[in-house]
Amino acid sequence: MGDRGRAALAVLTRDEGVRAAVTQELERRYGRDFPVVAAADPQDLRDALERRDLAVAVLFGGLGEADPDGLAVLREMRSGYRGALAVALARWGAWETTRPIFEALTLGQIDRWLTAPEENGDPEFHRAVTEFLSEWESREGGGFEAIRIIGDRWSARTQFLRDNFTRNRIPIGFYDAGTPEAEAMMVGLDLREPRLPVLVLRFRPERPVLQNPTDLEIAGAFGLLTAPDPDAVFDVVIVGAGPAGLGAAVYAASEGLSTLVVEPEAVGGQAGTSSLIRNYAGFPMGVSGNRLTFSAFQQAWAFGSTFLFVRAATALTTGDGLHRVALNDGSTVTGRTVVVATGASWRRLGVPPLEELVGRGVFYGAAVSEAPAMRGRHVFVVGGANSAGQAAVYLSRYADRVTLLVRRGTLTASMSDYLVRELEALPNVDVRFRVQVVDGRGSEFLESFTLRDLDTGAEEEQEGVLFALIGSEPRTDWLGGTLALDRGGSLVTGAALMGDDVAPAWPSGRAPALLEPSTPGVVAVGDVRAGSVKRVASAVGEGALAVTLVHAHLASPAVASR
Ligand SMILES: Cc1cc2nc3c(=O)[nH]c(=O)nc-3n(C[C@H](O)[C@H](O)[C@H](O)COP(=O)(O)OP(=O)(O)OC[C@H]3O[C@@H](n4cnc5c(N)ncnc54)[C@H](O)[C@@H]3O)c2cc1C
């Protein structure tokens, strides 16, 4: 078989010993799937890759005595191979390389680092390489397809499904309707006038085919619609499986509480959409938000939590000392306690023509699964906070050009310093200050949008793809006023409940604890809570703390007797 179009593992270092050891380890373990190409000189490596018409999955670049300019060379090489993971290779004990590596990581110039193998089969080396490959594969797709989606690339529904499956780590293959490949599949499935998107569940022996299915139909086909026994009473019902809900689930289940988690979309919530979380304690090189939260999901599940997917909570009622959560499939689940962890969702741009084009050139959030489709495009990211900065950095790996559109005159007040520096260092990213998106046009896809200069009022037309990350709104609509909210719609908890104008008022004689909203037995955690810190670590921490309140409530005489 020829190599054309395959992705290689590329090794670039002048250190002969390191080059030989790394090449040998890579060939031995991964050689069947990935051609390994090694060179001492960047041009020789480019030539070798070009001769065999190879893309690059992971680019290992040496750093140390033989490669004093290793980081610069790696950065330069990476810009020619979009989508490749750039990994700095250090030698064990070469401590002088540590600081420059961390600086390059902070500036987003490289993706990861690792120590060159010191012995045959070095397990640490291979653990890291396997992770790099799994990250690269989840970015690129193209492997095993548990689900095949045939749909219109720019349909909002297709976009939602692709994003949701990807975030739930379900391997999908996407085929754009109208392409010869997709047409041939339709013929093979005997679908003459298909209702798009079409889903083929290839992991089921009977390979069911669903045409434009609803979320509940998909859940049914997955076998996920089994409702818990309607008479079951859980110690704790957790609403939302973002970091806060997952944190609560891990601790609740591990401490022996019967735990049910309800989640309509993907595990991980907002954090699951973040390509790299750098400030989570214990991960000095950062961790993909999806990987971190998916691991928390597996952990909660392994401890015995029950998960109800594809269902959203629609109401919360309390009576007889029990809390009932109504779900959008018409069923109800009951808990002795409830943890509300419904987080927040993206604030909308508020421009009606653009709302019509969501998923078709207008995206809210980082839309990780769409990033590779941005190759060759000019992408505009609206927003001036960390989430917009992270999205711009991530998208810059694929898009030709990324322009950050910021309403304020500066980024310093709203964005972390490291991200500002990272953006400044990226050659294909620029920032426009004091501008606002005010209009848009397009029928099938966003064709252009209007940008207004907030100082002069001048308007200009721009063409490109829009990603809006302009802050978030708490997801408390479903509570219908049963718990006290502040003006912004966040749940009021703890001492703040004692204000005169809070309704419904705190009903108990004792003071509410930090995470207690206005109904005893209910706990609110994470971004949905007024005054929350809006960090992954604090959301997880609040989830853990919630469980101590759950224990206290369950031990209270009125509940303990039920
Ligand atoms: C792109 C991006 C990058 C970020 N980067 C960082 C970072 O680097 N470091 C950091 O510390 N923080 C970061 N954050 C912030 C961090 O992700 C959030 O603070 C954190 O996810 C909040 O967790 P949460 O569980 O409270 O809420 P969320 O993450 O919002 O999760 C809430 C969950 O509840 C579900 N839900 C909503 N309504 C219902 C309902 N009615 N019924 C059932 N379930 C429901 C949602 O589907 C969602 O899964 C980032 C956020 C974004 C968006």
- Side chain identity, residue 398: Y
| Selected residue with higher pLDDT from 525 and 101 | 525
Using a pLDDT cut of 90, give the percent of the chain over it: 63
Task: Compute the distance between CA of residue 163 and CA of residue 47 in angstroms, rounded to an integer.
Answer: 36
Residues 418 and 512 in one domain: no
* Averaged pLDDT for residues 245-269: 96
Per DSSP, helices labelled H in 31-149 are 42-51, 70-79, 98-106, 123-140
Strand, coil or helix: 236: strand
Residues 518 and 454 in one domain: no
Residues 364 and 457 in one domain: yes
| Selected residue with higher pLDDT from 285 and 64 | 64
State which of 196, 222, 248 marks the end of a domain. Answer: 222
Does the residue 227 lie in any domain? no
pLDDT at 34 over 90: yes
* Averaged pLDDT for residues 374-394: 90
58-99 tens-digit pLDDT: 999 999 999 999 999 998 898 888 789 999 999 888 888 887
467 alpha carbon – ligand 1 mean position (Å): 18
Per DSSP, helices labelled H in 359-451 are 386-396, 417-425
Residues 174 and 203 in one domain: yes
241 alpha carbon – ligand 1 mean position (Å): 9
Residues 209 and 186 in one domain: yes
Residues 14 and 107 in one domain: yes
| Selected residue with higher pLDDT from 10 and 556 | 10
Does the residue 510 lie in any domain? yes
| Token output for 20 | 């030989």
| Selected residue with higher pLDDT from 367 and 524 | 524
Does the residue 16 lie in any domain? yes
Measured by CA distance, the residue closest to atom 47 of ligand 1 is: 265
Answer yes or no: are the C-beta atoms of 35 and 82 closer than 8 Å.
no
* Averaged pLDDT for residues 35-39: 97
| Selected residue with higher pLDDT from 504 and 92 | 504
Answer yes or no: are the C-beta atoms of 61 and 89 closer than 8 Å.
yes
Ligand 1 in reach of 244 Cβ (< 6 A): yes
Task: Compute the distance between CA of residue 61 and CA of residue 75 in angstroms, rounded to an integer.
Answer: 9
Indicate the pLDDT class of residue 38, thresholds 50, 70 and 90.
Answer: very high
DSSP state of 375: B
pLDDT at 214 over 70: yes
CATH number for the domain that contains residue 131: 3.40.50.2300
Does the residue 445 lie in any domain? yes
Answer yes or no: are the C-beta atoms of 61 and 70 closer than 8 Å.
yes
Ligand 1 in reach of 249 Cβ (< 6 A): no
Measured by CA distance, the residue closest to atom 22 of ligand 1 is: 527
Ligand 1 in reach of 292 Cβ (< 6 A): no
State which of 116, 140, 164 marks the end of a domain. Answer: 140
Indicate the pLDDT class of residue 168, thresholds 50, 70 and 90.
Answer: confident
pLDDT at 301 over 60: yes
The pTM score is: 0.77
CATH number for the domain that contains residue 161: 3.40.30
* Averaged pLDDT for residues 486-490: 92
Residues 369 and 451 in one domain: yes
Residues 445 and 505 in one domain: no
Indicate the pLDDT class of residue 194, thresholds 50, 70 and 90.
Answer: very high
| Token output for 557 | 């005489």
* Averaged pLDDT for residues 300-310: 94
Does the residue 527 lie in any domain? yes
DSSP state of 108: T
Strand, coil or helix: 510: coil
Instruction: Count the helices and strands in the chain (H runs, E runs).
Output: 15, 26
Residues 15 and 119 in one domain: yes
Does the residue 263 lie in any domain? yes
Answer yes or no: are the C-beta atoms of 98 and 36 closer than 8 Å.
no
HEC secondary structure over 146-181: CEEEEECCCCHHHHHHHHHHHHCCCCEEEEECCCHH
Indicate the pLDDT class of residue 184, thresholds 50, 70 and 90.
Answer: very high
Ligand 1 in reach of 475 Cβ (< 6 A): yes
Indicate the pLDDT class of residue 49, thresholds 50, 70 and 90.
Answer: very high
State which of 450, 470, 490 marks the end of a domain. Answer: 470
Measured by CA distance, the residue closest to atom 6 of ligand 1 is: 277
Residues 250 and 340 in one domain: yes
Mutate to test the pocket of ligand 1, among 106, 270, 369 (most ligand atoms within 8 A of CB): 270
387-442 tens-digit pLDDT: 899 889 989 988 999 999 999 999 988 898 888 998 999 999 999 999 999 999 98
Q: Which of 244-258, 453-467, 548-562 shows the lowest per-residue confidence on average (mean pLDDT)?
A: 548-562
Ligand 1 in reach of 437 Cβ (< 6 A): no
Does the residue 271 lie in any domain? yes
Ligand 1 in reach of 312 Cβ (< 6 A): yes
Q: How many CB atoms lie within 10 A of CB 4?
A: 9
Does the residue 228 lie in any domain? no
| Token output for 555 | 């031990």
| Selected residue with higher pLDDT from 343 and 172 | 343
Measured by CA distance, the residue closest to atom 50 of ligand 1 is: 271
* Averaged pLDDT for residues 130-136: 86
* Averaged pLDDT for residues 320-327: 95
Which pLDDT score, from 0 to 100, does residue 108 have?
66
Residues 363 and 465 in one domain: yes
The parent domain of residue 360 ranges over 352-470
pLDDT at 142 over 60: yes
Which pLDDT score, from 0 to 100, does residue 251 have?
98
379 alpha carbon – ligand 1 mean position (Å): 24
pLDDT at 1 over 60: no
Which pLDDT score, from 0 to 100, does residue 471 have?
84
Residues 17 and 127 in one domain: yes
pLDDT at 361 over 60: yes
Burial 480-517 (b: 16+ CB within 10 A, else e): eebbbbbeeebbbbbebbeeeeeeeebeeeeebbbbbb
* Averaged pLDDT for residues 197-211: 93
Greatest mean pLDDT among 217-231, 252-266, 439-453: 252-266
Tally the domains of the chain. 4
Measured by CA distance, the residue closest to atom 10 of ligand 1 is: 535
Which residue has tokens 């421009």?
351
Contacts of 496 (CB under 8 A, 6+ apart): 486, 502, 530, 531
End-to-end CA distance of the chain: 68
CATH number for the domain that contains residue 376: 3.50.50.60
Q: Which of 125-139, 251-265, 413-427, 507-521 shows the lowest per-residue confidence on average (mean pLDDT)?
A: 125-139
